[in-house]
Amino acid sequence: MRVSYIRSLGTFTLLKVQHNSYRSTINLKAQIRTQAMSNQQMFLWWGSGSCPCWKPMIVLAEKGLWKGLPNKLISFDEEEYRCSDILAINPRGQVPTFKDGELVVNESNAICMYLEEKYSTAENRLLPETPEQRSTVYWKIFEASNVEIKVLDALAYYFYYTKKEDRNDEVIKEKVATAKTELSHWEKDYPALRKYYDTITARPSVQATWPPHWREGPTAENHLAAL
């Protein structure tokens, strides 16, 4: 028996073999691989414009698993993140809430890491090969939670959850200063962040998962304009 060629087709690798007795083994392997790459046993509850939701959605799209994935877009206004289906497997009542068959995985970063471990091929692998290179990625993933806390939660959500008439200029000033300090740990005036944003935005996975309500046009307020 000899492998006459190995060809990559999307996320699958096809092995064409010449010897008949090996063909069924190879077919079985291909079948198992195809089943492993299926998304029909998955379910994702998500909300439009939610950063935690968007992260695993991008990873799913990078792995060719987003299209046709069983999912539910919940309404934040209707507080659907507290629906009984979600609460049954995610007692925090939050999105993303994710299932892969019987396996429940919550917390956006955990979902991303699970997908990377389980569904990576040579073509769609997102994490670098060596532990040393991966250490930098892990470092930045965990460090980014500071941006979430000090920019998103503290500043953007203040505007989101506080009626215009209840907003306090002094509080806003303080929150903007805290957010600026956080961002200064990443860089000054953000040219590299801008470049990173542009690079990421151009990826088909990001375009395919773009928050649907953002496509309808800009929201009335730019909560981060002060930055």
Closest separation between CB of residue 55 and ligand GSH, Å? 7
Nearer Cβ to ligand GSH, position 57 or 176?
A: 57
- Decide if 57 contacts 46 (C-beta within 8 A): yes
x/- map, 102-141, ligand GSH, by CB under 6 A: -----xx---------------------------------
Q: Which is nearer to ligand GSH, 105 or 176 (CB)?
A: 105
* Minimum CB distance to ligand GSH smaller for 83 or for 206: 83
Structure tokens at 146: 């500071």
The minimum distance between CB 133 and ligand GSH, in angstroms, equals 24
Answer yes or no: are the C-beta atoms of 82 and 138 closer than 8 Å: no
Separation in Å, CA 46 to CA 61, 64, 225: 14, 18, 26
Q: Which of the ranges 46-54, 64-72, 126-134, 202-210 carries the binding residues for ligand GSH, by CB under 6 A?
A: 46-54
DSSP-derived 3-state class of residue 175: helix
Interaction between residue 179 and ligand GSH (CB under 6 A): no
Is the CB of 50 or the CB of 124 nearer to ligand GSH? Answer: 50
Region of 62-70, 94-102, 166-174, 181-189 interacting with ligand GSH (CB under 6 A):
94-102
Contact 172, 226 (CB under 8 A): yes
Interface stretch with ligand GSH, choices 8-16, 91-99, 167-175, 217-225 (CB under 6 A): 91-99
Kindly identify the residues of this chain, within the stretch 52-81, that bind ligand GSH according to CB under 6 A.
52, 81
Cis amide prior to 96 (ω within 30 degrees): yes
Comparison of 107 and 121: residue with beta carbon closer to ligand GSH: 107
Asked if residue 47 binds ligand GSH (CB under 6 A), the reply is yes
Contacts of 96 (CB under 8 A, 6+ apart): 44, 45, 46, 50, 52, 53, 55, 56, 57, 106, 108, 111
Question: Rounded to whole angstroms, how far apart are CA atoms 83 and 105?
Answer: 17
- Comparing CB distances to ligand GSH, the nearer of 3 and 160 is 160
Which of 11, 39, 50, 124: binder of ligand GSH (CB under 6 A)? 50
d(CA 145, CA 21): 53
50-61: burial string, b at 16+ Cβ within 10 Å, e else: bebbbbbbbbbb
> In the complex, which residues of this chain contact ligand GSH (CB under 6 A)?
47, 50, 52, 81, 93-96, 107-108
